[in-house]
Structure 1
Amino acid sequence: MADRAGLGVCYESFFNLIEKMLPNGRKTAKKVYACRGFVAHHNTNLWGDTDITGLWLPAFLWPMGGAWMANQLYHHSEFKENPKEIRERVLPVMKECILFFYDYLYRKSDKMWISGPTVSPENTYRLLDGQEASVAMGVAMDHQIIRELAENYLEGCRRYNTGSPEYETEKMAQEILEHLPPTKIGKSGRILEWQEEYEEVEKGHRHISHLYGLHPGREISEDTPALFEAAKRTLEYRLEHGGGHTGWSKAWIMCFYARLKDKKKFDEQMRQFLANSVDENLWDIHPPFQIDGNFGMAEAVLEVLASRRGDVVELLRIIPEGMETGMVTGLCLEGRLKVDFAWKCGKLTKISLSSGKTQTIELRYCGIRRSVTLLENSRLELEGVENYE
């Protein structure tokens, strides 16, 4: 959210926190898991804590915090594309995470490498004999995070030419990708949260962790139609059984529907969020309060306004209810791109694109596509939707 909203400078504090966590995370990796590299769990603090903390097992046995943060750093770097920062501050963190997961992943006899013991955050499943459990081997969210980490690391090394000293770690990342199980679809057409098709104890659980690959990840998209459809069914099932009852959960669901480009469901979740999940001072109600909902709602709105995937830039992916007319200025996208645009009665009336580098993009709006070449430090003005034709 911060980068798209033009607040990328706020990431300096995030960098500082991760750099404080790194030495602690190396100790945690070695002492708790007998692994190399860096690991962090679901919670940290002012002192950069990385240990397993808490008393509730379904939450604390989750060694994905560091990898999630590393992926977030890499996504941030895609906006500014600062080679020095990426080589010196982003890729080294990712390398430490790759080292950890290379050692941590369990090698099965079928040549699959799976995470575990771990949890799918706060959720539980039921075995055939009626036992309920949360700890498992091979959790969908874990694998989606690790896969994104390895892909990002390899892309970063290729793009920013880190050289031979990183070759061994690049090989590790490639091996991880070759052996991680794919995201699976169950008999019901929904994405499996665990490696086995267990019965869910709480069918409307507030966490929808196995859709990390839809948002904030990029594994599930229109380019993967089977997973895309399975994500829709997964959401429908959770909501039918009472999911999304906390403010932050509803905000995350809005982000899902923004990626799915489902206007009806997005509008429904937005109305419910504003009616039931926001206090008089506009704080998100968890209850009592959790800032995730405020940030998540802003992210969802930014996602429907504009997004970039590769060279494709899509504007007004859906137009939320009550926003049929509006204007945006200073919205930032990956690849040093900034866009201002206005629309009236659901139609674009003006677009202004600024680029920090020479690049060609495909601009999309309401099914219309146009190739646009932008020069470094240039601005291109388009007046009216007719300019797309």
Structure 2
Amino acid sequence: MKPFRWLWGLCFLAVAGCKAGPVHETQYLAFSFGQPATLWEERLPLGNGRVGAMPDGGLDTEHILLNELSLWSGSPAEDHKPEIGEVLPLIRELLYKEQVEKAQELMYQHFTSLTTGSEGSSGAYTTFGSYQLLGSAFLDFSYRAPSEHVTEYSRMLDISTATAFTSFTLEGITYTREYFTSFDKDVIILHLTASQPGALHFKARLDRPERARVYTNNLTLVMEGTLPSGQEEEEGMSYYTRMDILPYQGGNLTAFDDCLQLSEGTGAVLILSATTNYNPATLNIDKDSLFIQRADSLATEAQKILFAELKKDHVDTYQSFFHKVQLRLPDASALYFQMGRYLLLSSVREDFLPHNLQGLWTQSIQTPWNGAYDLNMHLQMNFWPALKTNLGHLHLPLLVFTGRLAEKGKQTAREYYNAPGWAAHAMTNPWGFTAPGHNTAWGGYNAAGGWLCAHLWDHYSYTLNRERLRIDYPVMKEAALFYLSTLREDPYYGKKVPVPSMSYGNTYYLPMENRDLLAMEERQSFPLFLCMGSTADVQMIRQLFTHVIAANKILQNTDDFPLIHNLEEALEHLPEYKVNAMECLQRWLYDYPEEDVRQRNVPHLYALYPGYEFTEETPELLQACRHTLERRGPGGSAWQLAWNLNLYARLCDGENAYRVLNVLMSPALEESQSPYKARDTESVTMLTPGVYPNGFSSNPHFQIDGNMGGCAGIAEMLLQCHRGYIRVLPALPEAWKEGGSFSGLCVRGGGTVSCTWSKGEVQEITLLAEEDHVFTLQVPKNFKGIKKEYVTFALKKGERIKLHEKSSF
């Protein structure tokens, strides 16, 4: 493995135009390499939320992987099996009688989609589809000496400017390359220079593994094609990519049939524009060619502007979001945190799709796990940091997508459950897939709608945006109608529980004669996933019903008062949570023996995080959550570790949270094969959880949820507000007590908080109201002048209050 470094530091920038010249502390945050990338996991990820690029910094050939967030194979299809709902009463009856194996067999036979491709990594040529590589841009360079003689090679990603750089010297000539995906102009831009006039020579190509036509049109290089739809009679998604080269200070540009060539140049700007004919508003493709006109227009507008201005506009736009939060810590955790925010900014934008399992980046036609939107936690984790880390505008694509998915899910609720409202299962795609997946043991998970709706309420609680709540309330209400219809009385406790249900990630054994825990050899050999009222599903339903009731109280929709009464009544009959014989939180309604004692997933800890039902007011449940985490052990993929990090933060256990964080930040370079190859080199060892050289999280293939969850976990260690009051430094580990600061983190109620500390004690807290609200703050123990444990401030929008250790109140 070639060497790389994480770079972080501080510089001070005066804000132009301010008479007093206030000084803002700005961090220098970068990933630096001493050689070209030989693996996908070493490439530098660039993106503006729609188009992405991953340059490798190659010497003789620069190979840039290109992505466009909407580029999927597949197509809308009839995914639902007819008359499946007729089987549901029998399944429920069998579960009631504890004939679970028979009920589960019926689920396997019937509760799947009519179409294929949703399972695993197999969707590329089916209607479900797969997220796909847009293509590659190749720049083949010619030099006056062999590239083996290169010196002073440097390759870097600067996440404070969302810009990548490559530079090296050959025979006394310094060559530089600068790359960014413009946040302002929505195109990919490369700037190439040679320090000696006439020394820049290269040929530019576009390519794709399949379904691509490459040609030149005057001095523009074009690549276009259409992906498979999975249906013979339907056309798939079309894409269009163009490259323009603008030489300056001399140089001859020539067009050939399928490439462009620049000779004797000194500098050049390359502009890449790409679009598809996907329409996120309809979850379908448009049949016209407007997408081509859009790409051409973007490229034409960018060509009118000098490179210096293109870069300035890009950096200014990006930093207007990125610099909203500053974090200073004694170690590299701040870089890891800001890398999460960088990846969020780079892979999703306000007016487009949510980012998928791989964010924006893939190098494959068949992306691992199809690059799908997995709804059993992964898509939701992708957005965990958005609200708290002051990127709330990037939370909106999830809300909008959920609303569109809900419309598709009404048919699913009706045909599979004979139910009102809407339902979605374990995975979806840009086509609005809501049916159960083909592997019912996890594809039949139907609590996705409840989890998605939690984000609708969280958005309101952080922003107090009533107009957005008015849009989202019907989606929440319809989800509640669905879950209300699934509640049935269990045969032993007489409680109302969702049926059918599951606790994804683990299975159980049913004791033969009674409910006592039996020795392994006395249990049934067949592991069971289907059940009545898993703890996780009950938590999801309790939270959803509570949120719908709260939203209705705000909006005062009198037509829904009868529904609100039914939800309140249902809440009273949901089962209480239990602690099992091993002092862990009980995963199922009954204390079944588990198949996997290490519990790969912990969905039943949802009420601790991201939910907030378990608090200091339920100490026995907090302790059961702790025992569950301890029993589970420290291992797992990056997304599992990220969830554990947040769970320990909620337990105010800074040391265990920091231990997990260190694993997340450790190099993923142990003995196993990389799932990817690049540049015809041998795969290297990359399977352990942690972080790849380019900052991506390891699962072992990259999934962006590890980065997103890790970023959210650091914020959770520093600031919490889920109990109705603000608490700073709730899970501060010993490693951070030396001193640090944060600014711009958001709290519920529409506020932002800044804090400094030294030697483990808070020095100063600043609270800024972004909306009119009454805030409550837990007073740090070293603020001796304030005699109360909690203080309350009624602030108007724009008002600020600052407290320090000598403040009195």
Q: TM-score with structure 1 length normalisation?
A: 0.93
Distance 1:244 1:270 in 2: 12
State the Cα distance separating 1:11 from its structure 2 match.
Answer: 2.0
Q: List runs of 5+ in structure 2 lacking aligned partners.
A: 1-384, 512-522, 667-688, 784-788
CA displacement 1:264-310 (0-9 Å, x = unmatched):
21122112222241111111101111111111111111111111134
Q: Which residue of 1 aligns with 2:752?
A: 338
Q: Which residue of 2 aligns with 1:97?
A: 479
Q: Which residue of 1 aligns with 2:740?
A: 326
Q: Which residue of 1 aligns with 2:510?
A: 127
Counterpart of 1:261 (choices 647, 652, 656) is 652
Moved more, 140-149 or 305-314: 305-314
Counterpart of 2:464 (choices 78, 81, 84) is 81
Give every structure 1 segment of 4 or more consecutive aligned residues whose post-TM-superposition deviation is greater than 4 Å: none
State the Cα distance separating 1:29 from its structure 2 match.
Answer: 0.1
Q: Which residue of 2 aligns with 1:215?
A: 609
SS at match of 1:330: strand
Alignment of 1:287-366 (within 5 A): 287-324=700-737, 325-355=739-769, 356-366=771-781
Name the aligned partner's letter for residue 457 of structure 2. Answer: Y
Distance 1:64 1:307 in 2: 26
Work out whether residues 761 and 782 of structure 2, in 8 Å CA contact, stay in contact via their aligned partners in 1. Answer: no
Alignment of 1:161 with 2:575, yes or no, is no
More strand by share: 2
Counterpart of 2:421 (choices 13, 22, 37) is 37
For residues 238 and 366 of structure 1, do their structure 2 counterparts lie closer, same or farther at Cα, with a shift above 3 Å needed?
farther
Structure possessing the higher radius of gyration over alpha carbons: 2
Q: Which residue of 1 aligns with 2:805?
A: 385
State the Cα distance separating 1:50 from its structure 2 match.
Answer: 1.1
Moved more, 205-214 or 322-331: 322-331
For residues 388 and 306 of structure 1, do their structure 2 counterparts lie closer, same or farther at Cα, with a shift above 3 Å needed?
farther
Counterpart of 1:227 (choices 590, 601, 621) is 621
Q: How many residues align?
A: 382
Distance 1:282 1:330 in 2: 23
Q: Percent identity?
A: 28
For residues 223 and 103 of structure 1, do their structure 2 counterparts lie closer, same or farther at Cα, with a shift above 3 Å needed?
same
Counterpart of 1:376 (choices 785, 796, 802) is 796
Alignment of 1:36-75 (within 5 A): 36-55=420-439, 57-75=440-458
Moved more, 308-317 or 360-369: 360-369
Q: Which residue of 2 aligns with 1:236?
A: 630
Name the aligned partner's letter for residue 641 of structure 2. Answer: K
Counterpart of 2:696 (choices 262, 283, 301) is 283
Work out whether residues 316 and 365 of structure 1, in 8 Å CA contact, stay in contact via their aligned partners in 2. Answer: no
For residues 308 and 367 of structure 1, do their structure 2 counterparts lie closer, same or farther at Cα, with a shift above 3 Å needed?
farther
CA displacement 1:183-222 (0-9 Å, x = unmatched):
1111222111111111111111220111111111111111
State the Cα distance separating 1:323 from its structure 2 match.
Answer: 2.6
For residues 320 and 54 of structure 1, do their structure 2 counterparts lie closer, same or farther at Cα, with a shift above 3 Å needed?
farther
Q: Which residue of 2 aligns with 1:139?
A: 534
Name the aligned partner's letter for residue 403 of structure 2. Answer: E
Name the aligned partner's letter for residue 363 of structure 1. Answer: Q
Q: TM-score with structure 2 length normalisation?
A: 0.46
For residues 264 and 165 of structure 1, do their structure 2 counterparts lie closer, same or farther at Cα, with a shift above 3 Å needed?
same
Distance 2:808 2:627 in 1: 34
SS at match of 1:214: coil
Distance 2:598 2:782 in 1: 35
State the Cα distance separating 1:360 from its structure 2 match.
Answer: 4.3
More helix by share: 1
Q: List runs of 5+ in structure 1 lacking aligned partners.
A: none
Work out whether residues 487 and 499 of structure 2, in 8 Å CA contact, stay in contact via their aligned partners in 1. Answer: yes
SS at match of 1:126: coil
Work out whether residues 278 and 284 of structure 1, in 8 Å CA contact, stay in contact via their aligned partners in 2. Answer: yes
For residues 379 and 232 of structure 1, do their structure 2 counterparts lie closer, same or farther at Cα, with a shift above 3 Å needed?
same
CA RMSD of aligned residues (A): 1.8
State the Cα distance separating 1:388 from its structure 2 match.
Answer: 6.7
State the Cα distance separating 1:387 from its structure 2 match.
Answer: 2.6
Distance 2:591 2:610 in 1: 24
